[in-house]
Structures are given as C-alpha cells and as structure tokens.
Amino acid sequence: MKNRLSYHTRLPFKNSVQIGFVHAAEALGIPRAVHSAILGHDLVVFLLGKEYLQSIGLPIVPEINQRLVFFTSNVQFQFHHDSVIVPAGRTETRFGAGLVALKGKMFERFAAGLCSAPEMWERLQSDGSPSTVLALIEPGQCSS
C-alpha cells in the first residue's frame, strides 16, 4: 500500500488545493455556464481574480467576431490567442484605484472612453493587443 500514493498526495499542498478547486468548479458546471453565458455577445469583458479565472475553464475559445477581454495580473494562465489580455497590476494603479478596486475602475474608464468614442468599436473588435483598450481607458479618466 505504501507504494500506491496517488498523484495528488505527491503534489505540494497549494497545488493539491488548486487541483481540487478546479475539479469542484467543473463539478458545479461553472465552465459550462460561463461558456453558455457568453454566446452571442460581440464583446465579453472578464474582471476576475486568480481563483475565478481557474474556475471558468481557460482557455475559452471566442466565437467568430467575438472579442474576449481579460483585465488581469495573472498572465501565466492559458488564454486563447485571440483573447485580449489587459494588464491590471501595480503599474495600472495610476488609473486611480488600489489593487482591490483596480479592475472595476479600469472597466469604468474603458466604458466611458468607448461611449465618448464609439467609432473605436471597430478597432476594438479587430485589435488583439491591449493597446486599444488602454487607449480607451486613458480618456475615460476625464469622465470619472
């Protein structure tokens, strides 16, 4: 019996907890629910922390003509190559919020910037880099 250690018992505790967390999310149907919820939307913005990102079943494959935008400091995750990864860490606190409220503040400014410049919609849909999102956040600072 001693030689029959399971894979999970050989992992460091933190990794075991993370694997259990992902399995629990799958058992609850979280990835399936998220994938269903985003169907048919041209733009989907995620403001999720590390554990929530782990629970949604990355990488999420966007539909044709769908843009997935992730505000995150967790760039080590496997995101689909067509997703836009917008950095949201210490450097971005320049947008006027601490780390806890940062993604919400960045989204608020992004939305204000897009409302002020609706002509940017096409560029947002075609640009796979974070530069268009960040360009919309900058003028959104005036609206906050």
Tell me the pTM.
0.82
CA atoms within 13 A on the CB side of 76: 5
Q: Which residue type sits at 125?
A: Q
Cβ distance 86 to 71 under 8 Å?
yes
Q: What's the pLDDT score for residue 39?
A: 96
Length of the chain as a residue count: 144
Mean pLDDT by 10-residue block, N- to C-terminus, for the chain (144 residues)?
A: 39 52 88 96 95 93 96 92 94 86 95 94 95 88 48
Read off the tokens for 60. 């999420």
CA–CA separation, 33 and 14 (whole Å): 26
Q: What's the pLDDT score for residue 20?
A: 79
